[in-house]
Amino acid sequence: MYRQKMIVGNWKMNKTTADALVLIRDIAATVGKRTDVDVVVCPPFTALEGASRVLEGTAVKLGAQNMHPELNGAFTGEVSAPMLRELFVTHVILGHSERRAYFGETDAFVNQKVLTAIKNQLRPILCVGETLAEREAGATLRVVQTQVERGLEGVGRETAGGIVVAYEPVWAIGTGKVATAAQAQEVHAFIRSLLVKLLGEAVAQRARILYGGSMKPANAAELLGQGDIDGGLIGGASLEARSFCDLIQAAGAAK
């Protein structure tokens, strides 16, 4: 089954709006017309509006890094799905390990966000992944299974079409330690088998499963060449146009 590759830049808490627009313009100038790879950039909330204007008329999509499950109300500091939709945001990263570790997000809370995103026509990018201690204890697949099953609870087959799952081993994020292609492929294939059980064969075969964790132009081709690795969720290497666009190039070349 052919699945178009997807490269998502997660800028995390980096770039003022001014700096963000410089980077977005560079990215749009280099890959803005590419339709053979799905490209999504996820700047901080403060840069979404400006980024949205720059990306108008290009093929590059806009994503948010987080979202609250409620649509409005007394949730100081939070941002909702309708607010994102109004800025032409199409994707939203949910359950990133940094949100789980530093902001106490549970699988149940992430699940509420996933359901709200889908209801509001935002495509969730559900992040899962084990810590080093969990990997060393042989618990990788069990941890990932719980995160995928709980994160997708209540998602109906008919609405799950655009679902994206990102496998990000916590020990590989920002550390320079990348999972080997075989390690990543094993978990990706496992995630796809879970999606088959949860959402059926057709949805599972169409779903993109991204790898994240120290992915760079130098290691991208091998990872992207694996059967169940459909793209990348990129942190550090997405902060510079050159490396981000090189990753898109690698995704376009991967079979």
Catalytic status, residue 168: yes
Is there a contact between 7 and 250 (Cβ–Cβ < 8 Å)? no
44 lies in the binding site for ligand 13P (CB under 6 A):
no
Task: Point out which residues pair with 61 in neighbouring strands.
Answer: 40
User: Which residues between 181 and 200 bind ligand 13P (CB under 6 A)?
Assistant: none
From 78-86, 101-109, 211-219, 241-249, give the range in contact with ligand 13P by CB under 6 A.
211-219
Q: Rounded to the nearest 5 degrees, what angle is found at the Cα of 188, between the Cα atoms of 28 and 250? A: 30
From 13-21, 142-150, 213-221, 244-252, give the range in contact with ligand 13P by CB under 6 A.
213-221
Helix residue spans in the chain (DSSP H)? 17-31, 48-55, 81-86, 97-102, 107-119, 132-136, 140-151, 181-199, 201-206, 217-224, 241-253
Q: State how far the Cα of 223 lies from the Cα of 220, in Å rounded to an integer.
A: 5
Please state the closest distance from residue 52 (CB atom) to ligand 13P, in A.
21
Judged by beta carbon, residue 162 or residue 235, the one nearer ligand 13P is: 235
User: Which residues between 218 and 237 bind ligand 13P (CB under 6 A)?
Assistant: 233-237
Write out the catalytic residue numbers: 96, 168
Residues contributing to the site for ligand 13P (CB under 6 A): 10, 96, 168, 173-174, 212-215, 233-237
